[in-house]
């Protein structure tokens, strides 16, 4: 079976790319061989005047390179050669005397866009599925098939860097404005328009393109001095965003700069050299692993495959219209497009919740991610009341009420009384064991946990927590629903704190202990943000809310004993009326909702003076190893099913630095032996809370690792 089918009609070759046996088109080695042959035909067949390249896949043009193929490369030179060959192939398209029109509908990503850029004319559809992007930096790479050269030449340095350095995707309308495509059409006439354009190009040649962007583009993109400003600003943005942990964006910037300032040959050389180095570098390897793990998770429903099919959710009930409930409702309406009924104790609360949920849609509308009519339609999915009317038709009910066992049990009983027996009840709790909530349930087989993270519209993770009694059908339904909401879903065991809060607990405790020892708060947070976390642990306590954090840590302490004993620190702050960001007073001061520096009055409150000679190496070691050790223990307890789930949970649930792969991956990288040694050292100084996990020692004994080497 061939990937390309060519039909020649009145001198115009319509080449349809339809990779057999795959849902999307990818540029694998085998495809490239076929494509080279095709290029020779286009060059030599004198009956062909021009060509159209179009995809045979629904809603996908070309999704990019075959990641599995290049991630198997082991040497820098092999990776560099891959990039070089890609550049050569794409250049052959560009230099072809037969004009080629790219007819783009659906995802046009990475190598797919680089190929389209080498075509002589680009037409894309106005369909929302049509997305153009160079997402290579998200895998720790750079566009390595001439993308760093052709994109800035086509749309200017600023717009090109904006796309290349972030990997963000653009829809057809924006692509047209940028000059990335030449025409925007509805999908129904894509092929005909492309054929007509190919015919025109064959007769009249490639039309000159008017530069876009007016005077700013003239000043910034088309003068060397202007571009210097552009490069400097881009570099600053990259460093602010990556903290210097991710080399790819800077290398991409260098490839763009070299190409624009020293000519395309130098640029292409810089591009394939950088690609080679990055592809076998540690950061890219980690990011690719994360990519594969995330993809594998998308196919993992948390049950024995085939043991149940998901129920269709035609109405969602949400009990509790607070921040969480509203976030869940809003995301369900936005991404699942499901009829959603919100319930709380009184109508003003329901109204506030509806407002917040609608606000998630309104924000998308403002950013032009939704049209007016989509916004109207989706917001009409959201309704609410102060009673359970509408719940009789609910297929799934998620409660997000106050974190209190009796309250949650009460809500469960109320919901069971009004819903159909097949309805599934999910509790959004961060710490309360689901089996406790389900203890008096009439239908415990339909009860499970769905632990969302706040704010729901931003946090990508969802923990689904079945109990011993939960049926597979309920599990797969919750997993699939969470996934449709846009979440990465891990199925975790019904243990206190589940996975994310379990590994977070000793880490946050240790941060509070450090504060109690007088270690300056900004030093603690800086140490950990430099290490790669998006926020430091003390700032995180403020974000979570000190009262909430205290409540959670008490639950964890009760469940796990002294190892997870929280220090007095939080209690002192709470007694002083501090709840963190939400009331504008915590470890930090807040002005108009913005963090405004550490509140120095915290130190006298807990009876310490900030010490001056704290060692950030020690801080880092204590915090990181507290988490690694707990991760090893939780895995041993069976909280997560695989190291993969645990690492993805840490990455997406708490922002564990992706370039480190996750806590379990890190243990493998450091070796379990070394981790145990460090823990023993910490135990000697700081006590038994650092006593190494039994699982770690077991791993050493069996000479093993969490992941295959």
Partner 1 sequence: MHDSRPGRRVAIVAGLRTPFAKSGSVFREVSATALARHVARELLVRTELDGREVDEVIFGQVVPSVRVPNVAREVSLLPQLLPSVPAYSLNRACASAAQAITNAADQIALGHADVILAGGVESLSDIPVLHSRRFSQILVEAGKAKTMGRRIGTLARTRPRDLVPVTPAVAEPSTGETMGQSAEKMAKENGITREAQDRFALQSHRRAAAATEDGRLTAEIAPWFGGAGMDEIVATDNGIRADTSLEALAELRPVFDRRYGSVTAGNSSPLTDGAAAVLLMAEDKATALGHRPLAYLRSSAVAAVDPSWQLLMGPVYAVPRALERAALSWSDLGLVEIHEAFAAQVLSNVQAWASAAWAERLGLAGPVGEVDWERTNVAGGSIAIGHPFGATGARLVTTLAHEMERRDVQFGLISICAQGGMGHALVLERD
Q: Measured from the CB atom, is 24 or 319 closer to partner 1?
A: 319
Minimum Å gap between C-beta 314 and partner 1 is 8
Could you tell me the CA-to-CA distances from 670 to 296, 330, 533, 698 in Å, in that order? 25, 42, 19, 16
Of the residues 463, 471, 510, 630, only one is catalytic, namely 463
Q: Tokens standing for 221?
A: 């993109």
Binding of residue 419 to partner 1 (CB under 8 A): no
State which of positions 314-333 bind partner 1 (CB under 8 A): 314
Distance CA 276, CA 551 (A): 50
What are the residues facing 449 on neighbouring strands?
Answer: 427, 465
Binding of residue 361 to partner 1 (CB under 8 A): no
Of positions 187, 226, 243, 385, contacts partner 1 by CB under 8 A: 385
Q: Measured from the CB atom, is 36 or 387 closer to partner 1?
A: 387
Distance CA 356, CA 327 (A): 7
Q: Tokens standing for 3?
A: 């990937």
Q: Measured from the CB atom, is 389 or 674 closer to partner 1?
A: 389
Binding of residue 358 to partner 1 (CB under 8 A): yes
Please confirm, yes or no, whether 463 is among the known catalytic residues.
Answer: yes
Of positions 192, 296, 345, 380, contacts partner 1 by CB under 8 A: 380
Of positions 132, 137, 381, 423, contacts partner 1 by CB under 8 A: 381
Minimum Å gap between C-beta 454 and partner 1 is 20
Distance CA 193, CA 181 (A): 13
Residue 682: closest CA among 542, 557, 514: 514
Binding of residue 23 to partner 1 (CB under 8 A): no
Minimum Å gap between C-beta 387 and partner 1 is 10
Minimum Å gap between C-beta 352 and partner 1 is 5
Q: Residues 336-355: x/- map of binding to partner 1 (CB under 8 A)? A: -x-x-x-----xxxxxx-xx
Distance CA 70, CA 390 (A): 52
Sign of CA dihedral 177, 179, 181, 182: positive
- DSSP code, position 655: -
Distance CA 384, CA 315 (A): 12
Q: Which residues contact 281 (CB under 8 A, 6 or more apart)?
A: 140, 247
Minimum Å gap between C-beta 348 and partner 1 is 4
Q: Residues 298-317: x/- map of binding to partner 1 (CB under 8 A)? A: ----------------x---
Q: Residues 257-296: x/- map of binding to partner 1 (CB under 8 A)? A: ----------------------------------------
Cβ(169)–Cβ(132) below 8 Å: yes
Residue 599: closest CA among 549, 553, 546: 546
Binding of residue 366 to partner 1 (CB under 8 A): no
- How many residues bind partner 1 (CB under 8 A)? The answer is 24
Binding of residue 422 to partner 1 (CB under 8 A): no
Binding of residue 532 to partner 1 (CB under 8 A): no
Binding of residue 362 to partner 1 (CB under 8 A): no
Cβ(312)–Cβ(395) below 8 Å: yes
Binding of residue 680 to partner 1 (CB under 8 A): no
Give the residue ranges of DSSP H helices in 243-339: 248-262, 264-279, 282-298, 323-331
**How many C-beta neighbours within 10 Å does residue 85 have?**
16
Of positions 383, 407, 454, 529, contacts partner 1 by CB under 8 A: 383
Minimum Å gap between C-beta 58 and partner 1 is 22
Minimum Å gap between C-beta 396 and partner 1 is 16
- DSSP code, position 691: P
Give the residue ranges of DSSP H helices in 367-493: 372-379, 405-418, 434-437, 472-484
Q: Which residues bind partner 1 (CB under 8 A)?
A: 314, 337, 339, 341, 347-352, 354-355, 358, 377-378, 380-381, 383-385, 389-390, 392-393
Catalytic center residues: 463
């Amino acid at each position: 079976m061939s990937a390309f089918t060519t039909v020649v009609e009145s001198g115009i070759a319509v080449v349809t790319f339809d990779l057999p046996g795959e849902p999307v088109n990818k540029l694998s080695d085998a495809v490239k061989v076929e494509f080279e042959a095709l290029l020779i035909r286009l060059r030599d067949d004198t009956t062909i005047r021009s060509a159209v390249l179009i995809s045979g896949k629904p809603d996908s043009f070309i999704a990019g390179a075959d990641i599995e193929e290049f991630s198997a490369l082991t040497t820098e030179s092999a990776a560099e050669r891959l990039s070089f060959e890609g550049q050569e192939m794409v250049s052959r398209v560009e230099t072809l005397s037969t004009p080629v029109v790219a007819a783009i509908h659906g995802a046009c990503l990475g190598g797919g866009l680089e190929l389209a850029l080498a075509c002589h004319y680009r037409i894309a559809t106005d369909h929302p599925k049509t997305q153009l992007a160079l997402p290579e930096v998200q895998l720790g790479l750079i566009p390595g098939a001439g993308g760093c050269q052709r994109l800035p030449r086509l749309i200017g340095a600023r717009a090109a860097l904006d796309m290349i350095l972030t990997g963000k995707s653009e829809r057809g309308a924006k692509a047209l404005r940028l000059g990335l495509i030449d025409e925007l059409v509805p999908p129904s006439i894509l092929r005909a328009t492309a054929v007509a354009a190919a015919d025109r190009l064959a007769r009249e040649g490639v039309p000159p393109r008017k530069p876009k962007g007016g005077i700013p583009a003239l000043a910034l993109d088309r003068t060397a001095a202007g571009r210097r400003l552009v490069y400097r600003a881009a570099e600053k943005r990259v460093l602010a965003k990556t903290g210097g942990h991710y080399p790819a964006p800077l290398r991409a910037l260098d490839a763009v700069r070299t190409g624009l300032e020293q000519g395309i040959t130098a640029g292409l050389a810089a591009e394939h050299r950088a690609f080679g180095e990055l592809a076998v570098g540690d950061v890219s390897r980690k990011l690719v692993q994360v990519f594969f793990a995330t993809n594998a998770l998308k196919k993992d429903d948390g049950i024995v495959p085939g043991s149940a099919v998901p129920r269709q959710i035609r109405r969602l009930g949400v009990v509790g219209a607070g921040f969480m409930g509203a976030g869940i409702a809003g995301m369900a309406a936005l991404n699942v497009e499901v009829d959603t009924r919100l319930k709380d104790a009184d109508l003003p609360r329901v109204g506030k919740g509806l407002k917040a949920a609608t606000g998630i849609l309104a924000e998308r509308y403002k950013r032009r991610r939704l049209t007016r009519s989509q916004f109207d339609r989706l917001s009409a999915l959201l309704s609410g009341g102060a009673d359970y009317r509408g719940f009789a038709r609910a297929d799934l009910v998620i409660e997000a009420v106050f974190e209190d066992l009796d309250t949650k049990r009460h809500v469960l009983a109320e919901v069971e009384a009004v819903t159909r027996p097949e309805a599934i009840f999910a509790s959004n709790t961060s710490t309360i064991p689901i089996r406790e909530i389900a203890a008096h349930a009439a239908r415990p087989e339909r009860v499970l946990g769905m632990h969302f993270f706040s704010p729901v519209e931003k946090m990508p993770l969802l923990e689904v927590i079945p109990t011993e009694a939960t049926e597979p059908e309920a599990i797969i339904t919750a997993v699939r629903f969470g996934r449709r909401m846009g979440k990465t879903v891990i199925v975790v065991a019904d243990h206190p704190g589940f996975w994310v809060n379990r590994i977070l607990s000793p880490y946050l405790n240790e941060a509070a202990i450090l504060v109690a020892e007088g270690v300056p708060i900004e030093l603690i947070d800086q140490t950990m943000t430099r290490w790669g976390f998006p926020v430091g642990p003390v700032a995180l306590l403020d974000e979570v809310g000190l009262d909430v954090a205290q409540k959670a840590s008490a639950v964890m302490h009760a469940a796990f004993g002294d190892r997870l004993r929280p220090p007095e620190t939080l209690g002192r702050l709470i007694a002083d009326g501090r709840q963190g960001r939400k009331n504008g007073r915590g470890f930090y001061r807040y002005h108009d909702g913005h963090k405004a520096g550490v509140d120095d009055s915290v130190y006298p409150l807990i009876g310490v003076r900030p010490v001056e000679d704290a060692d950030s190496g020690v801080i880092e070691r204590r915090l990181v190893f507290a988490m690694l050790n707990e991760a090893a223990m939780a895995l041993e307890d069976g909280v997560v099913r695989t190291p993969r789930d645990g690492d993805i949970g840490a990455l997406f649930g708490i922002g564990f630095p992706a370039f480190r792969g996750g806590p379990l991956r890190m243990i493998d990288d450091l070796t379990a032996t070394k981790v145990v040694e460090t823990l023993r050292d910490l135990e000697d100084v700081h006590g038994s809370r650092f006593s190494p996990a039994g699982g770690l020692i077991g791993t050493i004994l069996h000479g093993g690792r969490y992941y295959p080497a």
